[in-house]
């Protein structure tokens, strides 16, 4: 019973020491060279686009990038058209990109404790969306040709 108690106390001391070291390192990292901003706010909304039938549909996997002074602050992706991100207060450029659509940029100021709903309506750029890398199409074509030649050759041996 005493050894279990000693082991438990040692484990507790080790966990406490590791936690203290991690807390000190995080505190030091937050002081070093970083500009501290206010609490910031939330940006959310929907991303819609027109499909080939000119129907307005939600776009999944569109990227929304918050940029300040040329640097990316946060990046989110849409899920069934919905996106959400939390950013520090200040001026931002929001850039929305999705394959097959023109990118869209909007300027926005985010204040402390703010909650902005911002929807995007993307226009198609009529560029085909590649489903395979270009080399994959060539490899598939060559493999198909080889398999057809093997099948034809096999049939000739069976017939004769």
What are the pLDDT digits (tens) for 19-33?
544 444 434 444 444
Task: Examine the pLDDT at 81 and tell me if it is beyond 70.
Answer: yes
Query: pTM surpassing 0.85?
Result: no
pLDDT for the residue numbered 31 = 42
Position 34 pLDDT exceeds 50: no
Strands 71-77 and 41-50: unpaired
Beta-sheet pairing, 41-50 with 90-97: unpaired
């Amino acid at each position: 019973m005493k050894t279990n108690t000693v082991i438990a106390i040692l484990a507790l001391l080790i966990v406490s020491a590791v936690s203290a070291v991690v807390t000190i390192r995080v505190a030091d990292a937050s002081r070093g060279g970083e500009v501290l901003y206010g609490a910031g706010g939330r940006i959310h909304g929907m991303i819609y686009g027109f499909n080939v039938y000119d129907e307005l549909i939600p776009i999944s996997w569109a990227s929304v990038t918050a940029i300040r002074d040329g640097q990316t602050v946060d990046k989110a992706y849409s899920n069934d058209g919905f996106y959400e991100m939390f950013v520090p207060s200040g001026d931002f450029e929001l850039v929305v990109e999705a394959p097959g659509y023109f990118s869209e940029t909007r300027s926005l100021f985010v204040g402390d404790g703010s909650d902005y709903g911002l929807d995007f309506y993307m226009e198609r750029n009529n560029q085909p969306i590649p489903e395979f890398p270009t080399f994959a199409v060539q490899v598939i074509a060559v493999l198909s040709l080889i398999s057809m030649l093997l099948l034809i050759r096999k049939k000739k041996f069976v017939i004769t």
